[in-house]
C-alpha cells in the first residue's frame, strides 16, 4: 500500500510553563468594600456589560451532526469543531450541509483559533469550505489533523495552519486557555476540552464514552476530569446522543470477540467486512485477526484507503508487512485467504458495498461463498438504504451478519450511566446539552436536574441562539444570523432555498415547456409546441393546452405588451388552470416565446 509523504505539522507540547500560566489566571480576587458610584465607575460598568461570555451555536443543537460552537469574550472568539451533515429527502441535488458562518466571517478579526474534539465528519467535514472564508489556525490531535489535512489537500488549500496538540496539552488563544483531555470514542485522538475563560471554566465533553478496556489501552482520563471538577466548573456542555439509553455503552473489546467468532466460523469462506473508515480501532482489530487466521487484507473504497494510509503513517494503525493486497489482486487468492474491508455501512449509493450488492462493482462479485459483515449501527434515516443493500446481498447468495443478529458494533457515545458519572465528576454550576435533537437535549436537562442541578441553571439552545454567562448567571441573549449552507458539487455558491424549492417542485410535479412562435409584424401565433417532462399528458390534453393558449393569445393585445415577463405570464395563465384541473398537479411552466 502506497503511503504519500505528509507535510510536517507544528507540534504543541505540554509543558510546565503553560500549566503555570493557566493557574495564574485562576486566582481569586480579594473582597473589597464597595465604593461610592461615580461618573467614571458608571462608565466602567457600562463597558463591563459587554464582558459576558457568549456561547454562539452554529450547529449541533436540535440536530445530530453539523457541530459548531463559538465562544466569545470581548475581542476574542474561539471555535469548537466545524462539522457537516448529510441532506434529507427535502434537499434534492444537495451533496452536503454545513453551518452558515456569516457571523464569524463578519467578526473574523476576533477569531483566535479553531479547536477540534475529534476527526469525525460531523465535527471536521465543513473545515475545507469554511477555510476559504476563515483561514484561522486549527488545533487538534495527530489523527484528527491528519484527516483534516487530507480534506484540505483535496480542496487545494495550501495555506492552512494546523497545530498538533498532545493529550493533556494546554494552549493559549486570546483570553482563553484550552486543555485537551483524553476521552474514549469510536475514533482515536478524541478529546474533551476544558476551557478557562475570564468568567470561569467551560467543560465541553466532545463525543465520548467510558471504556475501561479500549483497543489502544488508553482509558478516559477520569482522574483529570475529577480534578477539573473539584476546582470548580462554571458550565458543562455534554454529548446527548445516547441519553435515551439506560446503563453503559459496551466496550470495543466486545466487537473483537464477535469478529474473532466470525473469522473462526467462516474458515472456508471469503469475508467482506464493512465498517466506518474513521474507526481506526476497528480496522486494527480486523488486521490483527487477519494475521491470526492467515488472510490477506484488501481495502475497498477511497475513504477507507486514504484513512488507512494516513493512520499507518502516523502510527495509529499497525499494518504488518505483506498483509495488504490490492483489491484487483484478490482473484489470485482462494476465498479463505482473503478478507475485504469496505466502506458502505449506511447503504450510501456510490459506496463500495452498495455497488457490490447491486452487481455494479467489477472488482468484487458477490457469491454463495461470501460472508458479509456490516460492523456499524444504522443511522436514523438510512434504514431503507442499508436494508435494501442487505436484501440484495442475500439475493446474490451471501450470508450477512449485522447488528440485529450479532454484537458486531458498539456505540461511541455515552449512555445515561456514563453521563451521570461525568456530571458527578464535573459538578457544574450551569449545564447546556449539545449533540442531539431537541428530545435528546430535553432529556439530558432532566437528567442533570435529577442529579441536583437547579431547573434555572439549565438551558436548551437552538441554532442561532446566544447564551450569555457571567460567574453567577446564565441566560439566553441575542439571536444572530445562523443556519445551513448547501454544498452542491464542489462549492456552496448558488444553492439556496429558492433553488431547493424549484428542485422539489420539479421532482413532485414535473415541468411543461411551451414554445410559442409569433409572426414579427402581426403578432399572430404561427406555431405552438408543448414539451412535458415528469408529468403525464395525453394527446388530447396537449391539444387542449394548445387550443387554450392560442385562444388567450388571440384575445390579448400582444403589441401593447411592454416586456417579455408580461408575455410569459399570459402564456402561463392560459394553461395553468387547465393543467391543474386535468391532472391535479401544479407543474413548473416554462414559456419560450419567439417572434419570427
For the stretch 392-435, pLDDT in tens is: 999 999 999 987 767 788 889 999 999 999 999 999 999 999 99
Q: How far apart are CA 465 and CA 467, in angstroms?
A: 7
161 within some domain: yes
* CATH code, 244: 3.60.15.10
Out of 487, 511, 541, pick the residue that ends a domain: 487
Q: How far apart are CA 469 and CA 207, in angstroms?
A: 23
Give yes or no: residues 226 and 366 share one domain: no
Q: 118, 185, 413, 435: which is the annotated catalytic residue?
A: 413
pLDDT of res. 285 = 93
Task: Inform me whether the pLDDT recorded for 34 exceeds 60.
Answer: no
578 within some domain: yes
User: Can you give the residue range of the structural domain that contains 539?
Assistant: 497-595
Residues 6+ positions from 295 with CB-CB distance below 8 Å: 263, 271, 336, 337, 338, 339
Q: 122, 207, 211, 239: which is the annotated catalytic residue?
A: 239
Burial 273-290 (b: 16+ CB within 10 A, else e): bbbbbbbbbbbbbbbbbb
For residues 371 and 398, the answer to whether their CB atoms sit within 8 Å is: yes
Give yes or no: residues 367 and 306 share one domain: yes
* CATH code, 314: 3.40.50.10710
Residue 80 has φ and ψ, to the nearest 5°, of -105, 115
Q: Which three cell numbers stand for residue 42?
A: 458608571
Give yes or no: residues 263 and 234 share one domain: no
Give yes or no: residues 242 and 262 share one domain: no
Catalytic site includes residue 118: no
Give yes or no: residues 233 and 133 share one domain: yes
Residue with cell 460472508: 371
576 within some domain: yes
The residue ranges of DSSP E strands in 423-562, in sequence order, are 430-434, 466-469, 474-476, 484-487, 511-518, 525-533
Give yes or no: residues 104 and 226 share one domain: yes
Cα 562 to its chain centre, rounded Å, is: 50
Provide the domain count of the chain. Answer: 3
Give yes or no: residues 380 and 437 share one domain: no
- Choose among 148, 147, 145, 214: nearest CA to 182: 214
**pTM attached to this predicted model:** 0.78
Give yes or no: residues 377 and 270 share one domain: yes
Give yes or no: residues 172 and 71 share one domain: yes
The torsion of the CA quartet 554, 560, 563, 565, rounded to 10 degrees, works out to: -40
Catalytic site includes residue 335: no
Out of 487, 517, 550, pick the residue that ends a domain: 487
Give yes or no: residues 218 and 298 share one domain: no
For the stretch 467-519, pLDDT in tens is: 999 999 999 999 999 988 877 665 555 455 556 566 666 777 788 888 888 77
Out of 339, 367, 401, pick the residue that ends a domain: 401
583 within some domain: yes
- Beta strands 68-73; 466-469: pairing state: unpaired
2 within some domain: no
Residue 175 CB burial class (10 angstroms; 0-12, 13-18, ≥19): middle
CB atoms within 10 A of CB 578: 15
Q: Which three cell numbers stand for residue 461?
A: 439552545
37 within some domain: no
pLDDT of res. 215 = 85
Task: Inform me whether the pLDDT recorded for 236 exceeds 50.
Answer: yes
261 within some domain: yes
* CATH code, 512: 3.10.20.580
Q: Is 491 helix (H, G, I), strand (E, B) or coil?
A: strand
The residue ranges of DSSP E strands in 190-229, in sequence order, are 191-197, 200-204
Strand partners, 399: 371
Amino acid at each position: 500500500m502506497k503511503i504519500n509523504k505528509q507535510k510536517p505539522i507544528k507540534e504543541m507540547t505540554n509543558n510546565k510553563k503553560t500549566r503555570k500560566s493557566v493557574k495564574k489566571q485562576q486566582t481569586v480576587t480579594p473582597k473589597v468594600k464597595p465604593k461610592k458610584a461615580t461618573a467614571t465607575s458608571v462608565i466602567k460598568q457600562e463597558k463591563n456589560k459587554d464582558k459576558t461570555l457568549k456561547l454562539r451555536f452554529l450547529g449541533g443543537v436540535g440536530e445530530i451532526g453539523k457541530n459548531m460552537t463559538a465562544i466569545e469574550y470581548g475581542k476574542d472568539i474561539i471555535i469548537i469543531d466545524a462539522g457537516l451533515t448529510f441532506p434529507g429527502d427535502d434537499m434534492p441535488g444537495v451533496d452536503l450541509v454545513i453551518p452558515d458562518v456569516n457571523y464569524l466571517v463578519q467578526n473574523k478579526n476576533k477569531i483566535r483559533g479553531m479547536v477540534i474534539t475529534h476527526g469525525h465528519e460531523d465535527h471536521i467535514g465543513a473545515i475545507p469550505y469554511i477555510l476559504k472564508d476563515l483561514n484561522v489556525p486549527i488545533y487538534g490531535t495527530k489523527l484528527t489533523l491528519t484527516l483534516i489535512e487530507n480534506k484540505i489537500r483535496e480542496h487545494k488549500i495550501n495555506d492552512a495552519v494546523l497545530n498538533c496538540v498532545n493529550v493533556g496539552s494546554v494552549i493559549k488563544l486570546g483570553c482563553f486557555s484550552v486543555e485537551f483531555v483524553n476521552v474514549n470514542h469510536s475514533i482515536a485522538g478524541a478529546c474533551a476540552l476544558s476551557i478557562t475563560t475570564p468568567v470561569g471554566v467551560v467543560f465541553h465533553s466532545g463525543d465520548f464514552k467510558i471504556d475501561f478496556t479500549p483497543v489502544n489501552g488508553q482509558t478516559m482520563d477520569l482522574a483529570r476530569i475529577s480534578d477539573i471538577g473539584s476546582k470548580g466548573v462554571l458550565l458543562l456542555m455534554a454529548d446527548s446522543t445516547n441519553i435515551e439509553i439506560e446503563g453503559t455503552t459496551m466496550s470495543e473489546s466486545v466487537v473483537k470477540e464477535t469478529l474473532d467468532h466470525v473469522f473462526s466460523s467462516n474458515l472456508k469462506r471469503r469475508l467482506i467486512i464493512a465498517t466506518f473508515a474513521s474507526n481506526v480501532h476497528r480496522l486494527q482489530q480486523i488486521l490483527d485477526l487477519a494475521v491470526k487466521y492467515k488472510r490477506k487484507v484488501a481495502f475497498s473504497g477511497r475513504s477507507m484507503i486514504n484513512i488507512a494510509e494516513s493512520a499507518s503513517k502516523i502510527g495509529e494503525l499497525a499494518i504488518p508487512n505483506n498483509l495488504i493486497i490490492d483489491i484487483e489482486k484478490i482473484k489470485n487468492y482462494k476465498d479463505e485467504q482473503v478478507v475485504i474491508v469496505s466502506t458502505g455501512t449506511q447503504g450510501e449509493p456510490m459506496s463500495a458495498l452498495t455497488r457490490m450488492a447491486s452487481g455494479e462493482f467489477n472488482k468484487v462479485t458477490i457469491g454463495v461463498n461470501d460472508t458479509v459483515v456490516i460492523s456499524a449501527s444504522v443511522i436514523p434515516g438510512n434504514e431503507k438504504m442499508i436494508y435494501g443493500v442487505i436484501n440484495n446481498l442475500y439475493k446474490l447468495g451471501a450470508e450477512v451478519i449485522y447488528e440485529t443478529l450479532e454484537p458486531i458494533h458498539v456505540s461511541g457515545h455515552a449512555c445515561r450511566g456514563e453521563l451521570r458519572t461525568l456530571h458527578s465528576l464535573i459538578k457544574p454550576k450551569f449545564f447546556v446539552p449539545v449533540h442531539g435533537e431537541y428530545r435528546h437535549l430535553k432529556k439530558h436537562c432532566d437528567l442533570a436536574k435529577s442529579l441536583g442541578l437547579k431547573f434555572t441553571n439549565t438551558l436548551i439552545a437552538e441554532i442561532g441562539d446566544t447564551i450569555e454567562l457571567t460567574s453567577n448567571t446564565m441566560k439566553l441573549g441575542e439571536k444572530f444570523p445562523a443556519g445551513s449552507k448547501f454544498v452542491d458539487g464542489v462549492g456552496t455558491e448558488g444553492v439556496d432555498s429558492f433553488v431547493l424549492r424549484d428542485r422539489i417542485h420539479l421532482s413532485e410535479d414535473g415541468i411543461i415547456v411551451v414554445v410559442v412562435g409569433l409572426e414579427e409584424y402581426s403578432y399572430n401565433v404561427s406555431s405552438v409546441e408543448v414539451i412535458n417532462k415528469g408529468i403525464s399528458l395525453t394527446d388530447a390534453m396537449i391539444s387542449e393546452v394548445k387550443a387554450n393558449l392560442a385562444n388567450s393569445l388571440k384575445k390579448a393585445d400582444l403589441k401593447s405588451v411592454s416586456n417579455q415577463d408580461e408575455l410569459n405570464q399570459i402564456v402561463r395563465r392560459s394553461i395553468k388552470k387547465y393543467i391543474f384541473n386535468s391532472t391535479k398537479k401544479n407543474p413548473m411552466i416554462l414559456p419560450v416565446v419567439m417572434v419570427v
